[in-house]
Structure 1
Amino acid sequence: MASVSSVRSSSSSIYGNRNVISGLASGMDTESMIENAVSGYKTKISTLQQKRTKVEWQQEVYRSIIGKMSSFSDKYTSYASSTNLLSSGFFNQAVKVTATGKYADMVSASGKTSSSVQILGVKQLARAATYTVSGIGGKTADKPEFTGSAVDLSVKKELSNVSGSLTIKYGGDRSFTLDFGELDIYENADKLAEAIRSKLGEQTMTLSDGTSVKASEKIDVKVNDEGNIEFSEKGGAGNAVTISGATGKIKDTLKITADGTESTLNTKDVELVDKSSTLGDYLSGKELTLTLDGVTKKIKLPEYKKDGTALSNDAYTTALQTKINEAFGAGKVALEKVGAADGKSFSLKFSTTQAGSTLSVSGDAAKALGLDKAATYVNTSKTLGELLGDKADVWNAFDKVEAEGDVKPVNKKGSSDVDYYIDSKGNRVKSEDGGKTYYRVDDKGEFLREFKINGKLVGAFNKDTALETVLTSINGNADVGVKVSYSKTTNQFQFTARETGAGSLDMGDGLAKALFGGGTKEDGLDAIFSMKVNGQELDGISRSSNTFDVDGMSVSLKGTFTATEADAVSFTSSSDADKIVDTIKSMVEDYNAMVTEIKNAYSTMPQQKSNGKYYEPLTEEDKADMSESSIKAYEEKAKQGLLFADRDLSALYTQLTSAISMSGKDGADLKAIGITSNYSNGLTTLSLNEEKLRAALETDPDKVRDVFSKSVASGSSSNGLMQALKSPLDMYSKTQGTKGILVQKAGSTLAPSTLYKNTLQNKLDDIDTQIEKWQDKMADQVDRYTSKFTALEKLISQMNSQSSALASFLGSNG
């Protein structure tokens, strides 16, 4: 008889995770037999996987080409680039302008002008209007400080008897740990069960099919008739739910053994809340998190009672000051007790002794001491309600934001009932006067209040809006024309007009004034200067900016002065040929690299083996017996010619080469400045003669500029080189707005939204669906054959047993 095969359960086995004894009774290699039976399915799956790999490789080639084209566009045709050959300004700015005269360091200039310009004096520089306010509503003390709300250490403080952690085990390998704080009060078993359900709802588990669900969807928590909390499984899949761990008071209070066998918390007749402690008892030994100038330390609070005697408020304050001094050093943080009228409660006042220091406290202990999020600076993550108060009378004093345009109803899905109303801008609105006037509201239906600077609407906010949202809205609203910054060190908000020039900033009334009123203004100023242009003296000129144009030359004022005509600032200009030449040379090199890759991609044929077949991607089985170097060498051949005869790339190449192959005057001008197109080995590229280009820049720089930057859109009779190239580049590789042809086809990391939505990705998704279908079919066949062979093994085993029994019986009677 053949040897007994071992249990097969490795991932490489045809059985997958199935544990099957192969050939135990029959001696047959059933796995090999099943493998042969489903070999057709395996071949189909491998073929699809090879096809998938090839599509991925094609995607990589397209994306490489898109990357080169986008880089070329960004570098040479974008107005955000300092090497934008499409802009005539690049050629003007590439002119060296030198200021001469006694006050030459007070003025600079760039660009080209044919006029004679002299600056005779600068009376006043332009500046932007500013508005500075300390803290919210200008309510900042002379030194950095804050005071908590009043607390009474002797007052009763309810504490949880079930603080700590509880670990729930689901099935054999899933555990969920739930944490409960000392201040989390649950009056009875129902409240505790509700909290457990809520905490389970915050955690997820992954099911066997790969889907994720909330733990609360699989674990049932209920209070039974006896008043105890029971855990069980929802759905009846046969998984046990037990208590596998517990720490802290919850373990002692509920007498949890946590041996993994219990499914019930004994909450019947148990006091879940400790009502005997005081606030001082709770705070004893707790840690106060204190941050001074960016350095955070934990300060252990004093013991409230010693030998049964409670500390006085003064003694408590002194003890805490001592601990702060030990942590940061004496004389850095001052602590003061502020008494209350009742004589029992008091507030803690913190201050720093050095100007520019920042101080904050945080944590549960700080909250209990009336110091929740307290700091010497404004916490911009706080809501407007926290900063201004959330009372109705406060917010009703601020103007609501009226709806824009016509208002129309939005009906509930599948119903004629009105769900809510929107204005012409799509903002949700509602009325409080029967539909006469509508105002903007948030998703909860709360009215939004207008925030205006200089009478212009910045945004619509309410008490739930974070201050940082308001600041972001100000900086993001170009129409308002204001920037705002905040310094924690000085606790000051500074508003600055985006543009210099005469004007002022005004918070006006309403919400803006409540937040930022009480500040100081500094009006903006125009620049005032005198100059002489082509011999004509111009005195008392004003400009809103310190940089302005004089007949094509950009002049920048840096300081004030008064000069005689002999000391006047004059300008001489010369071409900065190096910058222009270097940029054009770089453009030629980048263009040639780009078109070479495009041409090679569609003109290179796939490589064939000696038997005439093409190289296909390797399967995992192929790779198993190959070295890394062999795999790399093979895949280089398999990747050759992936996009052979691609029509899109062929059309793109034709358009790019047509753009540089200019005729008539445009072609002659291009050659005159040293740029020619060359055809060799089927490839058209550009070449540059630097000597000719430099000569053209010296003799006729305007021609060089026009060859590159002119366009029909700007009034020329034809497009220059860069506009001619920009059209096909945008058509095929544009990543903003309407996407280019290649981007739609293969996606690009430069346009993240296209990575999972493009033609080739759709093809990959389709292949994945086919692979999954064939894998399911193969699995069904394996299950069918496995079942039949298992039954055969059982039958042969029974026959062998009967045969052995019969032989033994005959032998004993022989």
Structure 2
Amino acid sequence: MASALTSIKNSSASSIKGYGGLASGLDRDTLIEGMTASTKAKIAKQQKKKQTYLWTQEAYRSVSSKLVEFSKKYTSYTNQSTNLSSPSFWARSNVTTVGANSSYVSVSGRSSLSDSMSIMGVKQLATKATITSNGNVSDSKLATGSINFGSESVSTLEGQSLYFKYGTKTYSVSLSSGTASDGFTYDYSTAESAEKSIARALKNVSIGNGKTLADVIGVQTTGATSSDPTTALAKVNFTSKDTAGNTIQITGGTSGALSALGISDIESISEENKTITADGFSSELNNRTQKLFDSKTFLDRIAGKGVSFTYNGTTQTIEFDKTRQSEYSDLNGLANYFQTELAKKFGSGRIAVTPDGDTLKFETKIPNTSTNGTTKDNTNDSSSVLSISSADVGITGKNGALKVESGESNRLNLTSSLINSGLNSDFDGKSADKELKLIINNVPITGLTYGSSMSDIMSKINSSDAGVTISYLQNADKFSIVSKGDGSAGKIEFGPNDDSGVLFHDYTTKDGQDAIVSVKYDGSDTPVELIRGNNTFNLDGLNITVNGTFGYSGNTLTEGTEPITFNATTDADSIVSAVTSMIKDYNEIIELVNKEVSTKPNRSYEPLTDEQKDEMTDDQIKKWEEKAKAGMLFNDSELRGLSDNMRFIFDSGSSDKAALESFGISTSTNYSDNGKLVLDETKFRAALASNSSDLQKLFTRQADSTTGDKGGVMARLTEITEKYAGTTGATKGILIERAGSVYAPTSILKNSLQSAMDSLDDVIERLNTQLKTETDRYVKQFTNLETLISQMNSQSSWLSSSLGS
């Protein structure tokens, strides 16, 4: 392999301009390379030195990172489950309640007082302020709209899909039917409503960057003057609103949609004619006859389709079999057909279907029962929930065959407008755009109308600052409002002269109350009554949850009631797991440090130049650099000091070292282990069981400067990690000051090795400038030489020619 001194090149020197050797025959470029070799060698030397600093920096950081991570894991209060320096980690954490009344209280956590306190009684539990409807809040009705068995004008677009190409991507636009979750109702019966519905369908399709198809495609509809419903919507046109220069085309759709727009032959239409401009469809498409309505009978509209009912959470589909159309050709027949099919799906006698004028009424029933020979007729079942959950296109929706929205049930329809939700309330004189005025706990709930959905109303209440949560209990058919404030601090009050009576006109209010718990401490004859807003609270380090009352007769503690006491034991498994993990990580640091300081560098492997790397494979480079990086910290004085500090946490022969060994943690007797720790788990568990207090103190004892005590195990380890890898304060740990660390961001660009590399960069920059100057000078000199030789050759040729003649 070529050495760095002979093969190194420089970008400013390798691009020698001009032409050489044409007259003189000299290899100018090679000569200049040789004449500048000394400067290049200096650059190479500095670059290698910088690379060595970089590798040294990496080696220091590998050690400091281990120390920082060790400190964060085992001495930081942010890691309670492994913080061996915290007394609470060693506290007895397996706490249980003891006594005849212990079922009324659950407990978790740690407390040094668990043995010295008891719960004498619970006078009352905390409850939040609530409002609950007394009766059913819905009208408990599920009914169709007015069913017309004759011919009706039906939209040919509703429920269909169209495909648009925007730029290079194709998007499908579903022309939905029914009512969306935000209360928007799709309607294609007039020019105005169809334009809104198609625009909403475009808005439902995301094209990225927060935009939808509605941002780039507009829709225009025109209406005819005729009162004939089949011509009320005469034309649909799409326009380009794009400002980014993308092409927009209509490329396809379902057969029904394409037929409605008169472009069933879309595949044969040219790309140009499919393009949508700011003026709309091309003249080719604009001249097509659109058929946006069709006349169909009720039987035509439902033939071969189905409607799904959900009864108490179970969904079944009723199919309209074409071969059985004679069974449902009129309202009575349709009612019998529904009832027969629903009985097959959900059981006989559970759902009654009866004609009601020109509508159908669906009611839940309790099936006939027979007791002692007496038959009990079907009675209404107010506890069961029945809904029309979904249907094929054309069955449901405002203009569907059944004239009923999907989602309608014998409960509130949360997605319909308030006045159409089935709420059992008086909406006389209320229009959809009229403001719904609600004030709860003096907080106005703004942005609501009678056209808002119940879902939106509840969402607005829950996200407001009123401090309450409202829910609709579907099975019970009731509203529930619960204060977010705990105990007696919570309240629910409606504003004067608001419209709350529309929603809550028959309800029961229950004020919030605080939990009252009697606690007795050892050494005191008088129990203390604690008043808390929540049934879960902290009791001197223990997390207490009360779930029942006991020990009181009225407001007085009952004598002789057995109190609840606490039994606390040490969580030995968690402690052993954490200590085992700590010793493993500690030993890994020792192993890493001693490997770094004992590995001798191989001087035959220097950092590679770019030119050398060009001559090698990636695998060869990797193997070379692994050897070149080894030994960067050989015999480093700082790491030697770190190694000694970790090897001798406690002085040999000290009482702390002897105690630690008696608890099952000793230093390895193998000299090559360099002071690694060894855990005797059996011995350690025995110490936890018999002498946990002394074991805890040995690990958690803090340093005391007045006595010279350096503290316990974790205090001494903390001193080591702070000394060598401290990340806070003006002066960081020794290794971080030397090489920086990602755990101390300001040190990345401010450390001694980085400063040395910055200085090298200045030297390299100066040498590169020098190399360019030298190269330019030599090029100029060779160019002058070539010019002179060329002139001499010309003169020689002239003389030869003259003499020859």
Please give the TM-score of this superposition, normalised by the length of structure 2. 0.50
Give the C-alpha shift of residue 556 in structure 1.
Answer: 1.9
Q: Say whether 1:688 aligns with 2:679.
A: yes
Alignment equivalent of 1:555, drawn from 531, 543, 548: 543
Partner residue of 1:607?
602
> What is the letter of the counterpart of residue 691 of structure 2?
D
Alignment equivalent of 2:518, drawn from 496, 515, 530: 530
Give the C-alpha shift of residue 778 in structure 1.
Answer: 0.4
1:735–1:750 Cα contact (<8 Å) kept: yes
1:332–1:353 Cα contact (<8 Å) kept: no
Alignment equivalent of 1:492, drawn from 460, 464, 471: 464
Give the C-alpha shift of residue 658 in structure 1.
Answer: 3.2
Give the C-alpha shift of residue 694 in structure 1.
Answer: 0.4
Aligned equivalents of 1:498, 1:55: Cα separation in 2: 60
2:68–2:725 Cα contact (<8 Å) kept: yes
Could you say what secondary structure the match of 1:62 adopts? helix
Aligned equivalents of 1:557, 1:714: Cα separation in 2: 43
Q: Say whether 1:540 aligns with 2:529.
A: yes
Q: CA 1:632–1:690 in 2, change beyond 3 Å: closer, same or farther?
A: same
Q: CA 1:490–1:701 in 2, change beyond 3 Å: closer, same or farther?
A: same
Partner residue of 1:298?
214
Give the C-alpha shift of residue 58 in structure 1.
Answer: 0.7
> What is the letter of the counterpart of residue 787 of structure 1?
K
Partner residue of 2:656?
666
Question: Equivalences for 1:431-470 in 2 at 5 Å?
Answer: none
1:99–1:107 Cα contact (<8 Å) kept: no
Partner residue of 1:62?
60
Q: Say whether 1:110 aligns with 2:86.
A: no
Q: CA 1:648–1:11 in 2, change beyond 3 Å: closer, same or farther?
A: closer
Aligned equivalents of 1:755, 1:354: Cα separation in 2: 60
Question: Equivalences for 1:143-154 in 2 at 5 Å?
Answer: none
Partner residue of 1:589?
584
Q: Say whether 1:631 aligns with 2:621.
A: yes
Structure 2, unpaired ranges of 5+: 1-7, 131-197, 225-231, 241-256, 258-392, 399-413, 419-435, 437-445, 447-457, 469-482, 492-509, 553-559
2:513–2:533 Cα contact (<8 Å) kept: yes
Q: CA 1:104–1:49 in 2, change beyond 3 Å: closer, same or farther?
A: farther
Q: Which moved more, 1:786-795 or 1:38-47?
A: 786-795
Aligned equivalents of 1:622, 1:639: Cα separation in 2: 17
Q: CA 1:74–1:719 in 2, change beyond 3 Å: closer, same or farther?
A: same
Aligned equivalents of 1:122, 1:68: Cα separation in 2: 54
Q: Say whether 1:728 aligns with 2:720.
A: yes
Q: Which moved more, 1:765-774 or 1:568-577?
A: 568-577
> What is the letter of the counterpart of residue 62 of structure 2?
S
Aligned equivalents of 1:669, 1:661: Cα separation in 2: 12
Partner residue of 1:657?
647
Question: Equivalences for 1:35-74 in 2 at 5 Å?
Answer: 35-74=33-72
Give the C-alpha shift of residue 561 in structure 1.
Answer: 3.7
> What is the letter of the counterpart of residue 594 of structure 2?
K
CA deviation map 1:464-510 (0-9, x unaligned)? xxxxxxxxxxxxxxxxxxxxxx98896535779999788689xxxxx
Aligned equivalents of 1:556, 1:799: Cα separation in 2: 108
1:101–1:570 Cα contact (<8 Å) kept: no
Larger Rg: 2
Aligned equivalents of 2:82, 2:774: Cα separation in 1: 64
1:670–1:676 Cα contact (<8 Å) kept: yes
Give the C-alpha shift of residue 676 in structure 1.
Answer: 1.3
Could you say what secondary structure the match of 2:91 adopts? helix
Aligned equivalents of 1:654, 1:766: Cα separation in 2: 33
Q: Which moved more, 1:754-763 or 1:54-63?
A: 754-763
Superposition CA RMSD, Å: 5.0
Aligned equivalents of 1:126, 1:601: Cα separation in 2: 64
CA deviation map 1:532-578 (0-9, x unaligned)? 5569683632247766565x661321534446888865543332211
Aligned equivalents of 1:786, 1:34: Cα separation in 2: 8
Q: CA 1:792–1:723 in 2, change beyond 3 Å: closer, same or farther?
A: same
Partner residue of 1:752?
745
CA deviation map 1:625-653 (0-9, x unaligned)? 33333333332232222122323222333
Could you say what secondary structure the match of 2:602 adopts? coil
> What is the letter of the counterpart of residue 573 of structure 1?
A
> What is the letter of the counterpart of residue 631 of structure 1?
I
1:735–1:751 Cα contact (<8 Å) kept: yes
Partner residue of 2:790?
797
Aligned equivalents of 1:635, 1:768: Cα separation in 2: 22
Aligned equivalents of 1:320, 1:352: Cα separation in 2: 30
Give the C-alpha shift of residue 93 in structure 1.
Answer: 5.3
1:57–1:639 Cα contact (<8 Å) kept: yes
1:530–1:537 Cα contact (<8 Å) kept: no
Q: CA 1:571–1:94 in 2, change beyond 3 Å: closer, same or farther?
A: closer
2:119–2:517 Cα contact (<8 Å) kept: no
Q: Say whether 1:707 aligns with 2:698.
A: yes
Aligned equivalents of 1:788, 1:501: Cα separation in 2: 96
> What is the letter of the counterpart of residue 621 of structure 1?
E
Partner residue of 1:392?
none
Aligned equivalents of 1:83, 1:47: Cα separation in 2: 48
Give the C-alpha shift of residue 703 in structure 1.
Answer: 1.6
Aligned equivalents of 1:61, 1:119: Cα separation in 2: 62
Give the C-alpha shift of residue 682 in structure 1.
Answer: 7.5
Could you say what secondary structure the match of 1:711 adopts? coil
1:332–1:352 Cα contact (<8 Å) kept: no
Q: CA 1:15–1:120 in 2, change beyond 3 Å: closer, same or farther?
A: same
Aligned equivalents of 2:638, 2:24: Cα separation in 1: 61
Aligned equivalents of 1:539, 1:64: Cα separation in 2: 56
Give the C-alpha shift of residue 691 in structure 1.
Answer: 0.8
2:647–2:674 Cα contact (<8 Å) kept: no
Partner residue of 1:120?
121
Aligned equivalents of 1:573, 1:585: Cα separation in 2: 23
1:77–1:722 Cα contact (<8 Å) kept: yes
Give the C-alpha shift of residue 656 in structure 1.
Answer: 2.8
Give the C-alpha shift of residue 722 in structure 1.
Answer: 0.2
1:11–1:17 Cα contact (<8 Å) kept: no
Could you say what secondary structure the match of 1:700 adopts? helix
Report sequence identity in percent: 32
Partner residue of 1:281?
none
Aligned equivalents of 1:730, 1:759: Cα separation in 2: 18
Aligned equivalents of 2:775, 2:766: Cα separation in 1: 14
Partner residue of 2:771?
778
Aligned equivalents of 2:725, 2:512: Cα separation in 1: 45
Give the C-alpha shift of residue 712 in structure 1.
Answer: 3.7
Could you say what secondary structure the match of 1:757 adopts? coil
CA deviation map 1:430-472 (0-9, x unaligned)? xxxxxxxxxxxxxxxxxxxxxxxxxxxxxxxxxxxxxxxxxxx
Question: Equivalences for 1:291-370 in 2 at 5 Å?
Answer: 296-298=212-214, 300-301=217-218
Q: CA 1:594–1:119 in 2, change beyond 3 Å: closer, same or farther?
A: farther
Aligned equivalents of 1:29, 1:587: Cα separation in 2: 68
Aligned equivalents of 1:640, 1:579: Cα separation in 2: 39
Aligned equivalents of 2:634, 2:643: Cα separation in 1: 13
Aligned equivalents of 1:95, 1:714: Cα separation in 2: 35
Could you say what secondary structure the match of 1:555 adopts? strand
Could you say what secondary structure the match of 1:735 adopts? coil
Could you say what secondary structure the match of 2:116 adopts? coil
> What is the letter of the counterpart of residue 120 of structure 1?
G
Give the C-alpha shift of residue 320 in structure 1.
Answer: 12
Could you say what secondary structure the match of 2:589 adopts? helix
1:732–1:743 Cα contact (<8 Å) kept: yes
Question: Equivalences for 1:223-238 in 2 at 5 Å?
Answer: none
Q: Which moved more, 1:584-593 or 1:24-33?
A: 24-33
Aligned equivalents of 1:101, 1:767: Cα separation in 2: 79
Aligned equivalents of 1:525, 1:499: Cα separation in 2: 11
1:15–1:31 Cα contact (<8 Å) kept: no
Q: Which moved more, 1:289-298 or 1:76-85?
A: 289-298
